[in-house]
Structure 1
């Protein structure tokens, strides 16, 4: 390949890490908050897909992309709140409920979103980072989602809240020891419900970025399992909001390898490179989830069988 092709390839992968990684960032931050409270939400795939549909529908009906983003956050928060309410009932398992909510969320999205497959909705504006280059390919690759700075701010805010605020410490206390939280007079169920709902709203922003920026349309295969991959992302990030940024960029870059190669004319193995994020997920789970061992940074309640 020529030097210009190498520059275009690097820009494509780098830009893809920022562009494709945005949904991963929001969903992993939402799951990080949920798991910090001692609850796991495997229904985030359903949350992501339902929020993506709601965002596209909201933007299409109102003609305003930011109202669509708000609709996605609300839809994600409501479905996550349902998960939190069900999990607060006696003898209800988090994992089984999450799988059921995943099926419910995707089913609702596919049913309600059928009329939205053809129309076009207003899109979230892009931040231009490639104006320094004369190459159209580089400029196109470095068009960044305007929601990315929001995700970075949320990551910093969660990191600060967990370490410096009373509410963040309460979430961590509930996730590490529900008995200690109850002994101090706090409602474990209430704290987990709020954390799960807010986590769903954050994940909903990831759904909005899918349909209102990249790829910028609504279809039934919009998510490609990114909600489930987010669980592995949180484990890889060791339940740290700041590390979720790097993990999301890593997975985003992995997902951008195939399109970046195709953009410079390399078509061999294109579909093979599209499997890199899933292979990376399996590798992370194999390396970090060892039988009989608790992952470093894991909230104590997650190791308990509920």
Structure 2
């Protein structure tokens, strides 16, 4: 296929394609944190789940030859780490935040240690769907080359919305997160619910990590996550603990993260690191602008530490 020069029109296409790629792990991690925080528990250790899932997914994909088995293994690794987090936080007078930070360091260290032999081997990547097959423009086809996990993430955001608002289990989870006393009065198992919610959040964070190692950037290295697990917690607060808003917030963050590489592809190399800081600056600006002094965190689950 001949290369077609469409000039600066390729910039928005590059940003759209980059937004889809960059946002995918954020979708899974932010949805997982939505579930966890809805139960009244915050997990700042998702960075550890993310990077451990990336390592486990890459290892299983390499050894089995199946990237989807790698995704499952990544989820299981994140779920087990979430179980550890849930059990530790169930001990009286244990601080969720301190446990989360400790497990983030532990998970990152374990991934770096166990993943040393995986830096050189090449694992089978996740498949993508070419939605731009009808076009002869390479830039458009690249933008519309969508990984299957992105579509799974969209479906999952809708499913989580219906889970929270249309199911008895979702009502129980929200009750546990809003008022522990009310949940106990209704006979709901508070500790068990929070443990399962933390496990579910860890599972989704692990799946998000598998995207990093098996799709974009598509290899295993120690600097793979770049703090995305921590940023997902900020995205959940910005999304006001709503799954569909978390989806849009992830896309917005992904688009901001794609600005730097897109401009570099156009030959604009000045202030490259400043453009790479765009998603972090954008997140900070949006959170400041969307915070009300009269009713801070009005949508937050009542049992979250940040709400007390």
TM-score, normalising length: structure 1: 0.95
Match 1:276 to one of 250, 275, 278: 278
CA distance in 2, matches of 1:68, 1:9: 33
Number of residue equivalences: 305
Q: Contact between 2:297 and 2:307, CA under 8 Å: does it hold in 1?
A: no
1:154 is aligned to 156
Instruction: List alignment gaps of at least 5 residues for structure 1.
Output: none
The alignment status of 1:193 with 2:195, answered yes or no, reads yes
How many Å apart are 1:187 and its aligned residue? 1.4
Match 1:301 to one of 300, 303, 307: 303
2:60 is aligned to 58
How many Å apart are 1:265 and its aligned residue? 1.9
Instruction: Tell me the SS of whatever aligns to 2:6.
Output: helix
- CA-atom RMSD in angstroms: 1.7
Q: Contact between 1:29 and 1:202, CA under 8 Å: does it hold in 2?
A: yes
Q: Contact between 1:13 and 1:253, CA under 8 Å: does it hold in 2?
A: yes
Q: Contact between 1:178 and 1:188, CA under 8 Å: does it hold in 2?
A: yes
How many Å apart are 1:300 and its aligned residue? 0.7
How many Å apart are 1:202 and its aligned residue? 1.1
Q: Contact between 2:301 and 2:307, CA under 8 Å: does it hold in 1?
A: no
2:111 is aligned to 109
Which of structure 1's runs of 4+ aligned residues deviate more than 6 A? none
Deviations 1:142-163 (A, max 9, x none): 2111101111111111100111
How many Å apart are 1:293 and its aligned residue? 4.5
CA distance in 1, matches of 2:210, 2:20: 15
2:8 is aligned to 6
CA distance in 2, matches of 1:305, 1:98: 18
1:223 is aligned to 225
Deviations 1:207-254 (A, max 9, x none): 011110000001011000100000110011111001111001000001
How many Å apart are 1:16 and its aligned residue? 1.1
Instruction: Tell me the SS of whatever aligns to 1:147.
Output: helix
Structure 2 vs 1, CA of residues 270 and 141 (structure 1 numbering), >3 Å: closer, same or farther? farther
CA distance in 2, matches of 1:149, 1:276: 25
How many Å apart are 1:279 and its aligned residue? 1.3
**Equivalence map 1:201-216=2 (5 Å):** 201-216=203-218
CA distance in 2, matches of 1:108, 1:292: 43
CA distance in 2, matches of 1:53, 1:241: 26
Instruction: Tell me the SS of whatever aligns to 2:304.
Output: helix
How many Å apart are 1:289 and its aligned residue? 5.1
Q: Contact between 1:237 and 1:247, CA under 8 Å: does it hold in 2?
A: yes
Match 1:75 to one of 60, 77, 88: 77
Match 1:239 to one of 238, 241, 249: 241
Q: Contact between 2:47 and 2:230, CA under 8 Å: does it hold in 1?
A: yes
Q: Contact between 2:77 and 2:203, CA under 8 Å: does it hold in 1?
A: yes
1:92 is aligned to 94
Q: Contact between 1:120 and 1:217, CA under 8 Å: does it hold in 2?
A: yes
CA distance in 2, matches of 1:90, 1:304: 18
Structure 2 vs 1, CA of residues 3 and 65 (structure 1 numbering), >3 Å: closer, same or farther? closer
Q: Contact between 1:38 and 1:301, CA under 8 Å: does it hold in 2?
A: yes
Q: Contact between 1:288 and 1:295, CA under 8 Å: does it hold in 2?
A: no
Structure 2 vs 1, CA of residues 122 and 12 (structure 1 numbering), >3 Å: closer, same or farther? same
CA distance in 2, matches of 1:304, 1:224: 25
How many Å apart are 1:203 and its aligned residue? 1.3
Q: Contact between 1:232 and 1:284, CA under 8 Å: does it hold in 2?
A: no
